[in-house]
Amino acid sequence: MKSSILLSLTLALVGVNVDAFSLADVKKTTSGSIVPGRYIVEFDSNAHLTSSGMKREAKSPHEAIYGQLKERNTAYTVHQEYSNDLFLGASITLDTDSDLANLLSLEGIIDFRQVHLLNLPAQPVTAQSYQWSVATGLRNSSAQAYSSSSTSTSAKVTTTTSCTGKGRNQKCTTSTVTSTPSATSSSSSTSNKGFSVLSQIGAESVHASGNKGKGVKVAIIDSGVDYTREPLGGCYGSGCKIVGGYDFVGDSFDGSNDPVPDNDPFDNCYSHGTITAGLIGANANQYGVTGVAPEASLYQYRVFGCNGATTDDIVLQAMQKAYDDGVDVINLSVGETSGWTESMLSVFASRLSAAGVVLAISAGNQGQVGAFYSYSPGAGLGVINVGSSDNAFYPSQLATVSTGYGPIPYYNYKTYTAGTYPLYAFTTDSSVADDGCTIPDGTPNLSGYVTLVRRGGCSLEQKAQNIYYQGGRQMFLINTANTVPLYQNFPLDFGMISLEDGNYLLSQITNHTSTNTTVTFSFNPYQSPNTFTGNITSYFSEIGPTNDLFLAPSIVAPGTNMVVILPATMSNWSIVEGTSYSTPLVAGSSALYIASKGNTNVSPDKVKNALQSTADSLKTSVTDSTIANVAVQGAGKLNIAQAISPNVVVSPSEILLNDTNYFAGTQYLTLTNPSNKIVKYKLSNVPAGTALAYRSGMNQSNDQPVPQVSSQATVKFSQSSVTLLPKTTWVVIMQFTAPTGLDAKQFPIYSGFIQVSSDNSDNNAQVPYLGVAAKMRDMPVLDPTADYLGINSPTILDESGSVQSSTGHSYTFQNDSYPTVIYRLVGGTPLLLIDLVGANSSLGFTPNYNSKRSNSPVQPEIYKRLVEERKINSISSSLQSEIASWKSTKTQSLISLYCQLTNFQGKGCSSYQSGKSNTFAKVPILGNLFETDYIPRSTDNVDGEGNDYSTFALEQAQFANGTSIPNGTYKFLMRALHITGDRTKGSDYEAWLSAPFTIAQ
């Protein structure tokens, strides 16, 4: 999902300045991506048959639910409706939380989730983005432009786009003329393969066999697509590459306004969807970046407008339509931080998978923040969650040198303007630290020269701008030794060259210029080997597992240094990185797999099983041969050729050992011999490094690279070898033993692969396994330290943004006079609540994250009143039956919120608090203020994406159900449920009690 032109420059290698936390930056709002008052609500398919209180039988579940809302005088707005066999419901906005309580109490409501805002990454940077003005006069110039007497006959690439019509009806034709230059003696040994990554995933050989995905339907749920681009077929509809689709939003949709849908997914204002479509299905083109499945039928569903924002209820609608349109594969290069399999999009993705649709979904791009930080909907069960590995090469072009040296690779996917040019340098002295940061007096007009500058001293943009305003249009940036190259699309020809090549060219320069040594540019793409990080998981690729210990990612594919197709309005091509772009490789490969099986009876689990079990495991780094943890790489790097023609078929494709509390040490592996020969298979345990997710002695997560230790699990096999007749199957029993001697407070993630090999093939199968050598129940949730924020938290901030005094503060709720709670989560939680309690109430327990323990005496009259208000009343057996029936159709999270909103007085809630073991509900709260469920932990913002803390602002003196809070002195009670915790047990929550504050309206 990440898109950046600054490629392969890892934060770990060069460092990044992330602004330190400052209270002054905290906004006095309730944080998060939630769209206020808007919910995705799931209906019972029989709601119109069983709804009580209806004066006549409703015609549909939707009518039944809406009718009940009207009978309760509940104001509501319907945004989207869902009506298929996988999901029945609607996206609804309600005015108040009391309306939500009414909604959740209705007959026929099964589940709900709050609607979230989703954002695509920033657009790839193009030369058009910089808009540097043309200088009217040169800076520090004392000479005219150099005019070379030599003229180049070298070839170049010319791309022309002509359009007719306007707006959405505009039709464009892109034509490209490529003239291949004659090879010189020095460059004849280099191969011109373009920039395809297909050979890295085995797709090149699959294409050679004749399989290009024909007959398979692939849906792309993304921004729209510029289908006028020639590599994307140039047209839309029957007989075209982009066969169908839908625009759910329109150009102007920003996630907050009303969408304007239509039947045409054309989009030339946001590039993301065009890029993903090209990676899946592009025709052959001048850069060699043919799609993985160029003969598949593509369906584009536009859910993002021109600013790259949408809401997940619209994404859900697109997923439903793709299913209704009968697609085989869905590519979703979108997502949001979740950490759980429980988000609505993840739940629906799980249902789509179970219904026969293959889903390839991006893992996310916040791997820098460490483990246990997965994305939704990629956390859905059965989906293929796709991470990124670094490309094995850097796209470059080759320049020839008149002396016979070289050729010289320069790191730009585009060729420089064709021709032959002399050299210019501001200085040849390597000790000058700020070469190119200023223009020396007497510098000539640099037009017609290739200007050489060394890296360092100031920004790349400043160096490039200085040359540009001095008339230069070609520059070489000389890289420092052993440093990852990077790319820029400045409005001049810009590319890095190696220190060695730069020093050679500088050695040819005397008195700033060289006319005897020239450089010639022509179209000559070259794959420069990536010796820094090639075939290693990308630094940004999300690290799992989910908080409920499902594998994330499932698999990885190349996702950096990707040369891609852009809309014609955006200069046609660019270079990008992110799991957004590794995911289409898996979606396209899934299409190849389905096509190889005749396009029939290929279930998603078979596709995922084949891709995972034949993937290639990756090392920790190019200098560390330890196998990377499965939480980082999943099953390894995609190899579609092996997936289509395996040596052995294994099941399951991943082994989940859980934590020590729910350890699943006994596992079964099914082996099938797909060949026509007798084959002997050998089984072995190939352990990977054990990742230490949390810092030693601290309840804070480790950033990437997450430290690994050599402690490993052991495996005993019921038999270490199996001889199978053709087409026969056998089951092997495995007994795992978790590693010992580890610090459970670091939440060690141990992992490895069960390898199945044979003597007659190099095409081995391997099944990843993963477990946690600790109890997830013990993972800390609330951060009580000052480690990151610099203040003890949670805490209250007053109207000035300062930490409120521990002795209390009065708020008038006028002119921003209201309290804001700031907190951090060092672990994910299935349920977080903020309730209001009396300042002197007896809670019945001691909050374990309260920095100031109150010794105030209990006020018996207040406690008695609260108990009486929530007293358990005796009820008839018939009413008990009705309540049991009502609860049987609800999810646990729905019942939990409903009871919070009604202070446990709603139907079905009395039994929720009545049991002797239900210590949670016996706490005498005055009312609920805030509830959210299945939320991820906070980060330390090492990736610069925020999410490093959360806030809750009590902007109005009201409970969540809309009732007013009377003037008085109160405290906030925050409770966060531990992973795997019991919602009814108070001891399974971490709790914080605030300092007192006064409401004085």
Q: Which residues are known catalytic residues?
A: 222, 272, 580
Indicate the helix (H) or strand (E) that contains 492.
none
d(Cα 977, Cα 988) in Å, to the nearest integer? 6
Residue pair 428/509 in contact (Cβ under 8 Å)? The answer is yes
Distance CA 773, CA 749 (A): 7
CA 913, 917, 921 angle in degrees (round to 5)? Answer: 30
3-state secondary structure of 582: helix
Q: Count Cβ atoms within 10 A of the Cβ of residue 562 and give its class: 0-12 exposed, 13-18 middle, 19 or more buried.
A: buried
- The beta strands (E) that lie in 530-595 are given as 555-558, 562-565, 573-576
Residue type, 242: I
Burial class (CB in 10 A: 0-12, 13-18, 19+), 163: middle
Longest dimension (CA), the chain: 103
CB atoms within 10 A of CB 848: 13
Q: Name, in order, each residue with C-beta under 8 angstroms of 233's C-beta and a sequence gap of 6 or more.
A: 227, 240, 241, 242, 283
Query: CA 761 → CA 204, 235, 425, 675, distances in Å?
Result: 20, 45, 56, 12
SS3 at position 450 = strand
Query: What does the alpha-carbon distance between residue 279 and residue 296 come to, in Å, rounded to a whole number?
Result: 12
Question: Alpha helix (H) ranges present in 567-721?
Answer: 579-596, 604-613, 630-633, 640-644
| Residues in a beta bridge with 159 | 176
How far apart CA 590 and CA 542 sit, in angstroms, is 21
DSSP three-state, residue 59: coil
Q: Say whether 116 sits in a helix, a strand or coil.
A: strand
The kind and range of the H/E element at 991 are strand 989-993
Termini Cα distance of the chain = 47
- Nearest-5° angle of CA 739, CA 744, CA 748? 60
**Residue in 142, 128, 145, 114 with CA at minimum distance from that of residue 40:** 114
Distance of alpha carbon 164 from its chain centroid, rounded?
A: 38
Three-class HEC string of 773-796: CCCHHHCCCECCCCCCCCCCCCEE
Residue 274 to residue 272: CA distance in whole angstroms: 6
**Cα–Cα distance for residue pair 429/425, rounded to 1 Å:** 10
Place of tokens 């009259």: 861
What Cα–Cα distance (Å) separates residue 314 from each residue in 39, 302, 321, 356? 12, 10, 11, 22
Q: Taking Cα atoms as reference points, which of 182, 268, 192 lies closest to residue 232?
A: 268
For residue 985, what are its two tokens?
């047990």
**From CA 530, how far away is CA 560, in angstroms rounded?**
11
Q: Do the beta carbons of residue 497 and residue 479 sit within 8 Å? A: yes
H or E stretch at 154: none
